[in-house]
Amino acid sequence: MPRENMASLIQKIARQASTTFKNCGSSPIGENSKGFLENQAKLRNLLHEIRAEDLNIAPRKLDPSPISVPHNPPVTYMHICETGAFSMGVFLLKGGSSIPLHDHPEMNGMLKVLYGKVSISCFDKLDNPPDAASEAQFNPPVLPYQKDALRRSLLRSVGEYTEHSGPCVLTPKKDNLHQINAVDGPAAFLDILAPPYDQDDGRDCHYYKVLENGDVKLETGEQKEMWLLEIPQPTDFWCGAEPYPGPQVTL
């Protein structure tokens, strides 16, 4: 059962997300503007409080049954709400599963773990220097037709998150690409994206794989420049749907 006085917490989060991202569907958000940063901080604080029990979600046990199409997907999604400004829902990952490296074009986002543990690798896209893709050497070699799908990136961080961690935040320029792996069993997280994915508006989801080459450059103790290759959605990843059991959200 939700904790006392917490039944409306997800409603408060939705309202604050609506306030924070109300203009992101029509115009770029100034990431350093005072109003946006204040609203973003309020949203982060609310997300820090949310727990699985507030959404009537019980932590899942390790499922020994094999992943199969379409009956047992590695990841499922509970839709909570969506407006033109943002979408919100819960991703549930089976033990040992992952959401492959992907991007969020011109989007902001926040991710808050509800139960379990996830490892998140965060990347920034970098501009490709002239002729850099054609001159880079890879093992195994990249095929000629793949050169245009190469993307220079910066691996900014790899960190583990639990229900006691603060939210993981992405912006259009910072930490916009990430891979999410379930660690030591099943996991779930609340996900807010602003604006929502929309292929017709240029916000389609693209998948990538990391390429190792001799040019990997250590920027600091935690950051590396590296090449990514844009790929189709991996065949071992797909996302099923299940009903959301928590408090109703109205906007």
SS3 letters across 100-124: EEECCCCCEEEEEEEEEEEEEEEEE
| 26-43 tens-digit pLDDT | 455 566 688 899 999 999
pTM above threshold 0.75: yes
- Rounded Cα gap, residues 133 and 67, in angstroms: 37
| 161-170 tens-digit pLDDT | 999 999 999 9
Per the model's pLDDT, the better-predicted residue between 71 and 50 turns out to be 50
Give the number of C-alpha atoms closer than 13 A to the C-alpha of residue 197, restricted to the C-beta side.
10
pLDDT at 160 over 50: yes
Residues, the chain, total? 251
pLDDT at 8 over 70: yes
Tokens for 45?
């604080």
3-state secondary structure (DSSP) of residue 16: helix
Q: Mean pLDDT across the stretch 217-244?
A: 84
